[in-house]
Amino acid sequence: MRAFPGLIIAALLTACASPQVSEAEARAEYEKIVALISSSEYNVRHILVESKSQAATALNRIRAGESFGSVARELSQDPGSAPQSGELGWNDPRNFVPEFSKAMITLTPNGMTKEPVRSPFGWHIIEVNEIRKAAVPPFEEVQDKIVSRLKKRKAAVANN
C-alpha cells in the first residue's frame, strides 16, 4: 500500500502545530485558579438608598422590628434586588465594590451592619444570611477546559 506524501505531510504539520499541554501544566493552572477563589461565599442581601439619612431610617425601622425584606422592598433603590427582599444570593466578596465587601466579611451569619455603609452606588444596609466554604470543582472535572484554554493560549503566543 502506497502512502500519499501530501497526507503524511499535512498530518505531521497538524500534529506539530497543535500545542501540547502536560498534566503538570494543567494542574499548575488549576492551582492558580483555585488560589484566586475566595475561601468563603456569602449569602447576602442589602438595602441601597441615596443618602445616609435614608439608610439610617431603614436601619431604625429594622431595629424597631420590621423585617429586612419588607423594608428592602419598600425603600431599596436597587432594581435587581429590591423586589426579592434585597437578596443578592451567594457571592464571592470580590463580586462587590471594596466598601461593600469589607463590611460584608466582618459580619457573621444573620448579622447586619451596625451603621450604613457608603459605596460609589449610595448607602447600604447589609445583612449576611449564611456563610459557606467556597465550592471548587475537582481538577478532574475541569481538566479538559483547562487544557483547552492552555492550548489556545500557547497557539496564540506561537502565532504572534
Give residue-wise pLDDT tens across range 26-59: 999 888 888 877 689 999 999 999 999 999 999 9
pLDDT score of 128 more than 60: yes
**Alpha carbon distance 94, 96 (integer Å):** 5
Domain span holding position 129: 40-133
Residue 152 lies in a domain: no
At residue 54, the pLDDT reads 98
> What is the CATH number for 64?
3.10.50.40
21, three cell numbers: 499541554
Of 92, 104, 113, 112, residue with least CA distance to 39: 92
pLDDT score of 154 more than 90: no
Q: What is the mean pLDDT of the chain?
A: 89
Structural domain count, the chain? 1
Q: Report pLDDT digits (tens) over 74-85.
A: 999 999 999 999
Residue 5 lies in a domain: no
